[in-house]
A and B are shown apart, each in its own frame.
Chain A
Amino acid sequence: SAVISQKPSRDICQRGTSLTIQCQVDSQVTMMFWYRQQPGQSLTLIATANQGSEATYESGFVIDKFPISRPNLTFSTLTVSNMSPEDSSIYLCSVGDRGLQPQHFGDGTRLSIL
């Protein structure tokens, strides 16, 4: 399966600031996804990052708060904007393909907001 590199692995940020998380894949992939996993919880899909078009956001997530870029088939970024303590979470990038294929995850970014 693809090797997925996510940066940074962790960060501690101040309230009101923004952080951009990068996801790099070692091969071209059709679909890239961003998830949030709050402590002790399962994964919640934030958005699907589409190459060459706007990301598709899930209910409860908006572009102003979580802008996403997908400039090519191997790279995507997620920005967490105007952060508050409620944004403290693990953010995960995953990749997949159309059809019945599984998704594979990067190592995640552990984000803490003070």
Chain B
Amino acid sequence: QKEVEQNSGPLSVPEGAIASLNCTYSDRGSQSFFWYRQYSGKSPELIMFIYSNGDKEDGRFTAQLNKASQYVSLLIRDSQPSDSATYLCAVNDYGQNFVFGPGTRLSVLP
């Protein structure tokens, strides 16, 4: 049984701070890793993906992957109230067998 785990939160950070979201996965065969943002009542929206160990930056977002530790994280710099949402971690092998984590609810306080 492939599993993806995340802290459910809520994770509360003040506006302007760095939010750190973490995800661990059980399947060592996982090849690609995704972060989705889901606002309440909306569908998931892809914000980052990463395939290789290390960091990948896109604007205020940085994804970090450590395959040896089976760990992927998402950092949000200069957090804004508009970043308040649930963040879903998903992992995939080559077969589009996506497994989603339970999501972490982030609250950015003005």
Contacts and interface: CB of A to CB of B under 8 A. Distances in A.
B94 A42 contact: no
A42 B43 contact: no
A102 interface: yes
A46 interface: no
Given A41-B102, A42-B101, A42-B102, A98 B96 contact: yes
Interface in A29-48: 31, 33, 41-43, 45, 48
Nearest to B6: A42
B43 A102 contact: no
Interface residues of B, number: 22
A52 interface: no
Contact of B43 (A97, A99, A107): A107
Interface of B: 31-32, 34, 41-46, 49, 51, 88, 90, 92, 94-96, 98, 100-103
Interface of A: 1, 31, 33, 41-43, 45, 48, 90, 92, 96-108, 110
18 contacts: A1-B46, A31-B96, A42-B103, A43-B88, A43-B100, A45-B98, A98-B96, A99-B96, A100-B32, A100-B51, A101-B96, A102-B32, A103-B96, A103-B98, A104-B46, A105-B43, A105-B45, A107-B42
